[in-house]
Structure 1
């Protein structure tokens, strides 16, 4: 079977939940299929500026076709149009203007799928949000699968997304909450819906090694991910600053990930930026608790990674997915505001046997439900179920 995965960015250096998922899925499927990843040359999702050379590439044994983005995104223009579009979500013309500003718009990528899309048996689009899906999926709708990685956020209400959900032959989800959101928002029927989930790697971590390499000597909570307002990081910083003001001997906060957020000095906040994978797992292993502050999640890899190290999580109660995962696993608590954040964090920091028991429950849940073998089999079944015979000439 010849298959393509279309995603807005792709590469080992690319950070982001949907992009990381796309890379792991591609590496799982490549030994089983004749697979091509179709993507842009962008590395930075804020501008879509070309970073990688256009043309054919190979990443971890996966064939990749990269296409340029001739016009980078203008963040200020995008913000202005977003305000208008979110106030009139059913306005298709305004929604289309929003998508042109959002990007990434790659005419050569669209031309490839328009002219050669029928040479793939099936084309899977990972994440619903970007122009690489909304502009490209209709070109190959007769063989399209959508993995939307969706959550309840302002763009989801825009009418421009109705078509891609309606025309996809199968729609794949990470969690039951995501699947129900697709039912309520887009009317996705059960015969087109599959909950595939994700896998999680169980890697060794050494908290003492993390402390030795970074100099973080005090007990700490950890956040893993982009330093971005959409991930709830400004609220996390504010909550933690108030927590430390009220409890000066409380946990430090270690931030692992890159971004453009102003961080206050002091109050035990350590911004380490992007770190190697092993050091990230050392940080998780040494943490008293892993914080998941995003209000918008289709699935939290940070939550799952914390549980593989038997560390409890503390999650934003605004996210139904994070709360649902915490309830199903028994692996974490959640908070709705700064007062609850401080109380829950203090509880986990001071009641070590309780924190360890919660983390252990999370590890059992992750081991039982999030194997990559299960994900691979689910993807293969979904792709096989909608595949159409490709033309004989190779893409």
Structure 2
């Protein structure tokens, strides 16, 4: 089959959750199918600058077509965000005095379709050439897979090929998910492939028409990583965070709590943060930023950690949690995120915290963990990933979805 995967960013240097998921899926599907990626020339979701000059390339054996996008207009973006999230100054004042809900129920703050179109444009990536390619070449592909509900390429591209579309929404309980306008997307997709039961429940409880689309829960396959060089060693104990270093991921709170906890320890530990520091957070002698590093380096740091810590409030899957588990590394996760909560509760491969007192308790438990207890926790994580997140079963679900779409066209 000829399959196109549409995703906002793509490449080996891009380690965002949906983007990495799309690359892993594309590389495995390409062993059996003819796969083409449709994406942008951007590496930054903050600016959407066209910093990748190539418009066509091969990445790990997969054909990638790149299209330019308009640089993000931050002023218009913030203005439209306040409009659609109903957080303009006078609306915040009405909320304080208790009148907002009454007026909102009468439809006084309802946004328009034009507002939503402008939101997609100014949020970015706005790349009309990409959607024009879909329109002109839709007959050449059997299936289109769209990643992430949030952005213009999915919202503008999917309706063009709705009858042959698979939507991988990567949705989570965030403010933007409830913006008036996104519901149409979940109604039009021929097939929805969810990452977790939590995500499926969120979508179907919010956008009831999504239940009309055929769907499955697949997630992503996670394989263990064999290091080529096992000589990595540091002279201190540490916990590790891997991913986008962003206030939106609650990393600033993690750093603050870690510093409070660590200053009372007689034998200090360190917090290592791996990834691009997009929020420009600052560290100290016990908070180390590695920047973006290779997969080999990432797994060297991960394997040596006392635990992986994930402070995010919003995840649709959390691939890095599963990567830690398959390596036998315990996970400390924010229990306020349903997906993370479910991973830890079901696997028994880590600890959960709701607040700072919980965080203190969890850190104490981790530090005092015996080698035998750590082994049991590590084995629990490996068993969990091997049971639910292996590529053979996941690819089988996609093959079934392809057959359904081709049959129903």
Calculate the TM-score normalised by the size of structure 1. Answer: 0.92
Asked whether the 8 Å contact 2:187–2:213 carries over to 1, the reply is no
Q: Give the aligned partner of residue 179 of structure 1.
A: 200
Q: 1:339 to 1:330 in 2, by over 3 A?
A: same
1:389 Cα offset (Å)? 9.5
- What SS does the corresponding residue of 1:307 show, helix, strand or coil? helix
SS at match of 2:85: helix
| Pair 1:338-2:356 in alignment | yes
Which one of 360, 364, 379 corresponds to residue 379 of structure 2? Answer: 360
Cα 1:345–1:90 shift into 2, 3 Å: farther
Aligned to 1:199: 221
Question: What is aligned with 2:256?
Answer: 238
Could you list the structure 1 runs, at least 4 aligned residues long, displaced by more than 4 angstroms after superposition.
205-208
Structure 1 residue 245: deviation in Å?
Answer: 2.1
How far residue 97 of structure 1 moved from its aligned partner, in angstroms, is 2.4
Task: Quote the Cα distance in structure 2 between the aligned partners of 1:275 and 1:184.
Answer: 39
| 1:125 match: secondary structure | strand
Preserved contact between residue 110 and residue 135 of structure 1 (Cα < 8 Å): yes
- 1:220 aligns with 238
Q: Is the Cα contact below 8 Å between 2:187 and 2:212 reproduced in 1?
A: no
For structure 2, the residue ranges without an aligned partner over 5 or more in a row are: 88-108
Aligned partner of 2:145 in structure 1 is 124
> 1:369 matched to which residue of 2?
388
**Number of matched pairs:** 385
Query: For residues 60 and 207 of structure 1, do their structure 2 counterparts lie closer, same or farther at Cα, with a shift above 3 Å needed?
Result: closer
Counterparts of 2:384 and 2:169, CA distance in 1: 24
Aligned to 1:142: 163
CA deviations 1:32-86 (Å, max 9, x no partner) are 11221111111111111112235332111111111111x2113344233222221
Listed one character per residue, the Cα deviations across residues 263-288 of structure 1 (whole Å, up to 9, x for unaligned) are 44436111111111111111111111
Shift of 1:28: 0.8
The yes-or-no answer on 1:302 pairing with 2:320 is: yes
Q: Please name the residue that 1:61 is paired with.
A: 61
Aligned equivalents of 2:407, 2:52: Cα separation in 1: 31
For each residue in 1:162-215, what CA deviation from the matched residue of structure 2 results, as whole angstroms up to 9, or x when unmatched?
11100001100111111111111112227612001211120135997333xxxx
Structure 1, unpaired ranges of 5+ = 391-395
* 1: CA distance, partners of 2:271 / 2:229: 15
2:94 aligned with 1:75: no
Q: Structure 2 residue aligned with 1:96, among 94, 113, 117?
A: 117
Looking at structure 1, the residues matched to 66 and 280 of structure 2 have their Cα atoms a distance apart, in angstroms, of 33
Equivalent residue for 1:52? 52
Residues of 1 paired with 2:375 and 2:118: CA distance? 50
Q: How does 1:207-356 map to 2 (within 5 A)?
A: 209-211=231-233, 216-266=234-284, 268-352=286-370, 353-356=372-375
Scaled by the length of structure 2, the TM-score of the pair is: 0.89
SS at match of 1:51: coil
Q: 1:298/1:260 Cα in 2 relative to 1: closer, same or farther (>3 Å)? A: same
Query: What is the RMSD computed on CA atoms of the aligned residues?
Result: 2.1
| Equivalent residues of 1:312, 1:332 under 8 A apart | yes
Counterpart Cα distance in 1 of 2:40 and 2:408: 26
Q: Secondary structure at the match of 1:198?
A: coil
Does the CA contact (< 8 Å) of 2:84 and 2:180 recur in 1? no
**Within 2, Cα distance between the matches of 1:263 and 1:5?**
33
CA contact (8 A) 1:206 1:285 kept: no
Shift of 1:6: 0.6
Distance 1:190 1:317, change over 3 A: farther
- Tell me if the contact between 1:330 and 1:362 (Cα under 8 Å) persists in the aligned partners: yes
Could you say which residue in structure 1 is the equivalent of 2:12? 12
Q: Deviations over 1:94-118 (max 9, x none)?
A: 3332222111111111111112112
1:373 and 1:64 map into 2 onto residues whose CA distance is 24
